Structures are given as structure tokens and as C-alpha cells.
Structure 1
Amino acid sequence: MRQRQSGTAVCQSPINRSEMKFFKTAVQRNQTSVSEFILQGFSDLSWQLQLFLFVFFLVIYIIALLGNSIIVFLATTSPSLHTPMYFFLGNFSFSEICYISTTVPKMLVNFLAKDKSMSFISCAGQLYFFSVLGATDCFLLAIMAYDRYVAICRPLRYNIIMRWRLCIKLATTSWIIGLMVAFGHTLFIFRLPFCGSNVINHFFCDLPAVLKLACGNTYGSEVGVFLSGIFVAIIPCWLILFSYARILGTILRMHSVGRKQKTFSTCASHLTSVSLFFGTAISIYLRPNSSHSAESDRILSLLYCVITPFLNPFIYTLKNKEVKGALKKLVGSK
């Protein structure tokens, strides 16, 4: 562990020089500032298993990048997908590309590298961008649920309500909220002193894992993180539940079975993404810090950091005729 000594000023007091020297030395030994963190990650596993996980997650990462990039490209270039639904899906897929890229590359490097260190600034930066993208995803999913609500429950007014100006404002607001919430998260955590262990029992600089290493009273920071987590997770989740409650009521009033199935199929992919993302995120960030387990946190983090971005292209394309049609046109034209 490499640490640097932080200077400490000792006030003049009526004690002899030997006592002052002893006091100053003791304070300097106790007050050290962590200059880097060690990401323990999966280093407790055997070398053969780490090599297998490296290949496994590398394949997942490449597929996630390729799949989400295709969705972004189709939503941008295909005229048949120039609708609010695919505009928000394109934003979400772009966010997923960035989201998985904040954690997986460093995790892959650590599978093979002996030096698993990460500088203090790099750790803060990773936490910041991870929080930006996580918060943005939450609000984008809520906006996508609202779009489905308007399309199903207010079909005659859909084009009037979901105008392009409103869609751009909603997407921009999601990104701005993500930036603001992430700034608060990072400020809450990295304003604390880190003067003890610098080993993070995780594969990236996650909020609960970094907070465990902080010195002194962390109650205020824990409360701040919890309240911001409620704002980021609970409010969008409530909006999604409200939207789908109204959608379900509309579906139940439909007389045609075929129309019911078609309407439900358009919502199934979004509900799958919501369940995967919010279920794992809430279980990590909205439970007491004392109840966190390193092993369970790593597994749950893999679900929403890696598996969800990986599954996103499959969720939104396997049963989506518009996306498959645009993809076939793209392949045929090439």
C-alpha cells in the first residue's frame, strides 16, 4: 500500500520539546491520505477461473457494444424508426454503451494484471461517470414508460403530446439530472478522509464499497447518498408503475384478444429492462450500508453493470418488427 504523509500543524503549547516531537510524530502516523486504491475484484479466484472470466466478459462486452451501437445507428439513420419511442431507445442504448464501458475495461485489465491499483482521481472519475449514466438510465426508462402510456392510453393525442421539442427536452433533462446527481454522489463520498485501508473489495469504485473505506463519521454522507438514491430510483420507479397501471387498465378494457397481445408485446421488452435494472440497483443502493456483503454486491453489480447492457439489444430486437425490418433493410442495402 503506497501512502503519502499529510502535513499536520501543531499549535504551540506549554510542553517540552520532546513531548511536542512525540505528539507530532504520532499525529503524522495516524493521519495519512490514500493516494490510490486497490481493486480486489475477483483476485480471490484461481488463475484458470480468472482467465475464463476474462474471455467470457470480453465476449459479452464486445456483443454489448456492437448490439447497442446497431440500435443507435438504426434509430438515427432509419426513417421508419424516427419516432419518439426509438428516439428514447437510441438515447438509452447510447447510455448503455457508455455505462458498460465505465467498469468492464478496467475489470478485464485486472483479470490479467498483477498491479490492480487505481489512482484516487481515476476512482473518483469512474464513480462520477458511473453515477451519471446510472441516474440517466433511470429517468430514460421512466420517460419510455410515459411514451408507452401516451401511445396506448391516448393514441389520438399521441402526435400532439409527444412532439419532437418535448422529446428532446425530456431526454436532455434526463442527462442533466444524471450530471447533477452524480456530482452530489461524488462530493458526498470523496469529501471524506481516507486514512485506513485502500483495498476495495469490488471490481470497480462503487458507492458502498468506497464508502466502507472512509474514516471518521460517514453518517451524513450515507444519508446524502440514500436520499439521492430515493430521488434517482424511487421517483422514476413510481412513474413507471403509475404508467403501467394505466396501461394495464386500458388493455383489460380491450375486446380484441389479438389487440391485447400486440399491445402487451410492445410493453414486455421495456418491462424486462425495468425489472432487471431497478431490481438490482435498488437492492444495492437503498439498503443499509451495514447489511452489504461484498460477494452479493459483486454479483448484483454484474447484473446491472454488465448483463443488462448486454441483454438490451436482444430485449428490444427479438420481438420488435420495426427494428428487425430496419436491420434487414440495412443488411440488404450493404
Structure 2
Amino acid sequence: MPAPAAPPTSATESPPPDADLAVVPVRHYGRWLAAAAVTACASALLWSLLTNPNLDIRLVLSYLTRDFVFRGIGITVVLTVVAMVIGVAGGVVVAAMRMSANPVLRTVSWVYLWFFRGTPLLVQIIFWGFLGALYPRLFVGVPFTDIALLDEPTSLVVTPFVAAVLGLALNEVAYAAEIIRGGMLSVDRGQTEAAQALGMGPVRILRRVVLPQAMRIIIPPMGNDTINMLKMTALVSVIGGSDLLTAVQNVYAQNFQVIPLLTVAVFWYLMLTSLLSLGQYYLEKRFGRGFGERPPGTLSRLLGRGEGI
């Protein structure tokens, strides 16, 4: 008896899995052309800077490690740290006032934010620098007595450094308050209610429950704000704040080497902001553990396939 004939093979039927397939990689000629164009432009710009006699790289290198530069860097770092510490501490207080059930506290905090976010930082710094024009003397006394706790000329109390700290810190309080408030609002209300059920007071709930959980949301914008604060310290040069920019300005006002000395300032600002960016990265990694983490190698695989770009 003859064997039954095999059924006809459809033209659209896929080949067997063991068939040899020619794998042709996708060519991305546009990427290579864009990379070549960007590299050429960057190389041309770098070469023009290095060969420009008005920049004078040797003069820039000779100024990088001068004493006046390091003193300016020290003042810049101190201003940044002090302003951020006061700003964050005050921001927690103002944020708590904004979220308070007390209408007086909410109103006062709203007016504070309205004023300090609504006026330029440069104007605020100049105002504190010339506070003596408004109050020639600062007097603080004990109420209902003749005892004076402070009675000095304003210029002796509010020095350029103090004016710089006041301008930077009070402005930072307003911005930090909104960053912290946003982080606090991200914490589930059930966490607060559970803490209240355990008999915890408002301050303890804020310190032990709300803020630790809000840090994951607060750290990225606050890190960016810290980097911005470092750069904003350059504004205090208008009142002679002795920062890095003031230091180089004092020198190029005498030798007229404006571009080389500004290049020195740019270099050190980049170094300082790079250090702050590195610190921000590790803080984000520390407080973001367990939230939205990808498996190892996920990012490299996505980049390798060109996804998400």
C-alpha cells in the first residue's frame, strides 16, 4: 500500500528553526555623522582656546594655586555651607508652618515665601550690604528696662561677610521650604496617623517618621540647590564679600589680565561643583535604596540597544 503523500508546504510557512539565517546588523550612519560633526566642532573650539594669545594658558596655570585664589575658595565654601545649613534648617520650619493648621502660621510663611522668592537675590544681597543706610545703628535692649544688649553702628555688625550670609541664607530658606514641603507631602498620610496612634508628638513625628521618608524626594532638588548656591556666592562680589570671584576681580583690576583670571575662577568653580555632584550622587544612592532600582546591567543593555535615547 503506497504511503500517503505529504501535505503541500505553504509559501508563507516559516522556515525550520535550525535553518541558517544571515544576521545583518542595523547601520546607524546618522549617529556616526553626528558624532564626527560634534567632535570636529569641539576640537576646533578647544584648539582656538589653547592657541589664543589673549588666554595665555601659562599665565592661567601660574595663577591656579596662588594664595589669594585659595583664600577666595575658602570663603566661597564657607558661604555655601553656612547658607545651606541655615537655609535647610529654616526651610524645615517654614515648610512645617506652611502645612500647619494654624492660619496665622500659614499666612506668615506664605508672605515670607512671596517676598524672598519674588525679589532678585542680587537685590537682597545689596540691601543687606547697605543696611546701614536704613538703620545707622543697631539697638537691641531688654523690654521695659534701660539695659542694652546691642548698641553698635550697623557697619560694624553687618560686615560684607555677614551681609552675604544673610542674603544667601534667607533667600535659600524660601526655596528649601518648598522643596522640603514637596518631600513631606509625598509621604503617605497613613504614616502620620499611625505615629499619632502610637502617641508620638508632632515634632517627633516630623523628625522620626516624615523627614526620613521624604529624604528620597528631597535629596535630588536639594543637591541641585546646593550646587546653585555655590555659584550664587559669586553675587556677593558686588558688596566685596571676599569670595573667589572677588579675589580674582581685585587682582585683574590691577594687572588687567581679565580673561586669564576669570578662567582660573571658572576652573575652580567647575572643580567644586563636580565634587558636590559626586556627593549628591552617593546621597541619592543611599536614600534611594529599594525604590525603582533596575536589575544589574539593565541600563547598559538599554544603551547598547539604543533604547530610551
Question: TM over 0.5: same fold?
Answer: no
Q: TM-score, normalised by structure 1?
A: 0.28
Greater helix content: 1
TM-score by length of 2: 0.30
